[in-house]
């Protein structure tokens, strides 16, 4: 059994900052890396991440650094940049990563262009790292303030999974083990796209029944997609899939759902995103999910509809009409 005593967190957005708080709360000596000088200054001098997680006092034991080299000593590293920046960030971190370093991927999305999952990006950038995926229902603000949740921690090596879970767990943060990284990643990526769909429905005033129908049919898309990629249906039925889908589709606290709300209310994507420094991953992942699903031969009509609305290929009403007029079929079919 390896003793995990030190944790490094790459990326001091809302979630990286909240995870640093989790690590510190679990008794790990924690170093958080931020790329913005103002975030280093704000956490270092006032103990608050004013840019990305305002209003939450951080554990004073968290060390803040601007340098990726500042994480070279860590027993484990949590990678938390937005999905589209994971490749460049891990490439920059590569000189400081020792062989066999456990890297817990916490970003939720699929890389545009390459259509790769974060575990594939990790394998290409840090081939000697040991991969794990942490995903589940967890709004950064709630977790950082000390509200409880449970998440999926997926790792092929179940001994390492157990050690990571033991190291990260505390009475407010409860990881459940899984061995299916693909399923965990598929759940996290698709729930963001589906949350945009639910936001659009809410913004258009389509009602609670449509909302429930979208979540259920969206879950069916998520399951088909995960299984076609090589993941397991039972994984997406857990916290990293269904759990996170229910959370993200049900609260305007979700950045993805709020982008959808704005679109449903008639705003353009540009208006919906304007002035926001935070990331709505579904906006980037929607076209990647669509393209990967087509390559896999999987039908994902809701995700396709979101991608079409985001790209301007189709209007909201056209997509809604199209979804409601698809051929009638068994509920078990696509
Ligand atoms: N915020 C939340 O409640 C949760 C977020 N996540 C996931 O965590 C990931 C990070 O999201 P947040 O921490 O919320 O981000 P955020 O929206 O709070 O902050 C934006 C982040 O993007 C980084 N960034 C901007 N440009 C960059 C570049 N060129 N290279 C590298 N990094 C760059 C910033 O440094 C900052 O860390 C996403 O994949 C998100 O889906 C997962 C669970 C919960
Ligand atoms: O992943 C999340 C909750 O689990 C956060 O969702 P948003 O990125 O939509 O805010």
Q: Which of 15, 53, 175 to mutate to test the pocket of ligand 1 (most atoms within 8 A of CB)?
A: 15
Report which ligand 2 atom has the smallest distance to the Cα of 244.
4
CA of 165 to the centre of ligand 2 (A): 21
Asked if residue 245 lies in contact with residue 239, where contact means CB atoms within 8 angstroms, the answer is: no
Q: 14 CB under 6 A from ligand 1?
A: yes
CA of 52 to the centre of ligand 1 (A): 9
Report which ligand 2 atom has the smallest distance to the Cα of 188.
1
DSSP conformation letters of 59-91 = PTT-EEES-GGGGTT-SEEEE-S-GGGHHHHHH
DSSP-derived secondary structure letter, 151:
E
Q: 107 CB under 6 A from ligand 1?
A: yes
Is 191 one of the annotated active-site residues of the chain?
Answer: yes
Vertex 49: Cα angle to 194 and 26 (nearest 5): 80
List b or e across 12-45, with b for residues whose CB sees 16 or more CB atoms inside 10 angstroms: bbbbbbbbbbbbbbbebbbbbbbbeeebbebbee
Distance CA 127, CA 70 (A): 21
The residue whose CA is least distant from atom 39 of ligand 1 is 107
Within 10 A of 108 (CB to CB), how many other CB atoms are there? 27
Residues 6+ apart with CB under 8 A from 141: 14, 18, 53, 55, 56, 253
CA of 10 to the centre of ligand 1 (A): 10
By CB atoms closer than 10 A (0-12, 13-18, 19+), residue 327 is exposed
Q: 254 CB under 6 A from ligand 2?
A: yes
Asked if residue 6 lies in contact with residue 75, where contact means CB atoms within 8 angstroms, the answer is: yes
Q: What per-residue confidence (pLDDT) applies to 1?
A: 56
Distance CA 120, CA 118 (A): 5
CA of 193 to the centre of ligand 1 (A): 16
Of 160, 187, 79, the residue nearest 126 (C-alpha): 79
In the structure encoding, which two tokens stand for residue 12, read together? 């001091």
Per-residue pLDDT of the chain (334 residues; tens, 9 = 90+): 579 999 999 999 999 999 999 999 999 999 999 999 999 999 999 999 999 999 999 999 999 999 999 999 999 999 999 999 999 999 999 999 999 999 999 999 999 999 999 999 999 999 999 999 999 999 999 999 999 999 999 999 999 999 999 999 999 999 999 999 999 999 999 999 999 999 999 999 999 999 999 999 999 999 999 999 999 999 999 999 999 999 999 999 999 999 999 999 999 999 999 999 999 999 999 999 999 999 999 999 999 999 999 999 999 999 999 999 999 999 988 8
Distance CA 238, CA 136 (A): 8
């Amino acid at each position: 059994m390896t003793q995990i005593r030190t944790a490094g967190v790459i990326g001091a957005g809302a979630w990286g900052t909240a995870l640093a708080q989790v690590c510190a709360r679990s008794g790990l000596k924690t170093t958080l890396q931020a790329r913005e000088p103002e975030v280093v200054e704000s956490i270092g001098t006032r103990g608050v991440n004013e840019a990305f997680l305002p209003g939450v006092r951080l554990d004073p034991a968290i060390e803040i650094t601007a340098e990726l080299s500042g994480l070279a000593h860590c027993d484990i590293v949590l990678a938390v940049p937005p999905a589209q920046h994971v490749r460049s960030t891990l490439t920059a971190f590569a000189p400081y990563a020792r062989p066999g370093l456990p890297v817990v991927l916490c970003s939720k999305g699929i890389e545009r262009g390459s259509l790769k999952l974060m575990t594939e990006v990790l394998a290409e950038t840090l081939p000697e790292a040991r991969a794990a995926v942490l995903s589940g229902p967890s709004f950064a603000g709630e977790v950082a303030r000390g509200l409880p949740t449970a998440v999926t921690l997926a790792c092929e090596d179940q001994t390492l999974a157990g050690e990571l879970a033991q190291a990260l767990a505390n009475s407010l943060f409860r990881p459940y083990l899984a061995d299916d990284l693909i399923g965990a990643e598929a759940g996290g990526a698709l729930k963001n796209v589906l949350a945009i769909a639910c936001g659009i429905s809410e913004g258009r005033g389509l009602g609670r029944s449509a909302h429930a129908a979208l979540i259920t049919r969206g879950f069916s898309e998520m399951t088909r997609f995960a299984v076609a990629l090589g993941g397991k249906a039972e994984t997406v039925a857990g916290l990293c899939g269904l759990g996170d889908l229910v959370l993200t589709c049900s609260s305007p606290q979700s950045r993805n759902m709020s982008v959808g709300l704005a679109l449903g209310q008639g705003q353009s994507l540009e208006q919906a995103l304007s002035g926001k420094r935070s990331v709505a991953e579904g906006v980037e992942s929607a076209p990647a999910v669509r393209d990967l699903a087509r390559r896999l031969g999987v039908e994902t009509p809701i995700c396709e509809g979101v991608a079409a609305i985001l790209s301007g290929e189709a209007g909201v009403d056209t997509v809604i009409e199209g979804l409601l007029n698809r051929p009638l079929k068994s509920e078990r079919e696509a």
